[in-house]
Amino acid sequence: MTPTTILDGMTDADLRAALATAQKALIDLTVGAKPVSVAYTQGNGSRSVTYSKAEIPQINALILAIQAKLGISSGRRPIRFRF
């Protein structure tokens, strides 16, 4: 069977490590701990990496996917009204 997501085939330990990394990245971006842009020079030229708040929805989606794979619920149930 072919893996259907990037998370398939990962062990629980790998998933938990990825979850911690994703959560840390989300916190860092949210509180402004990550620089918006980083540039550096290597022997073969200059490089730059840019982080932006636009990545927050993608990080949230990744966190939710990892939690679902691990069987971790969000802790909230849908609100249902009974009359």
Domain enclosing residue 49, as ranges: 12-70
Residue 60: the pLDDT is: 87
- The total domain count for the chain is 1
Is 27 part of any domain? yes
Quote the pLDDT of residue 76. 65
Q: Is residue 29 situated within a structural domain? A: yes
Residues of the chain with pLDDT under 50: none
The reply to whether 63 falls in a domain is yes
Does 80 map to a domain? no
Question: CA 83 to CA 80: how far, in whole Å?
Answer: 10
> What pLDDT was estimated at residue 1?
56
Which pLDDT value is given to residue 8? 84
Cβ–Cβ < 8 Å for 19, 71: no
DSSP 38-65: EEEEETTEEEEEE--GGGHHHHHHHHHH
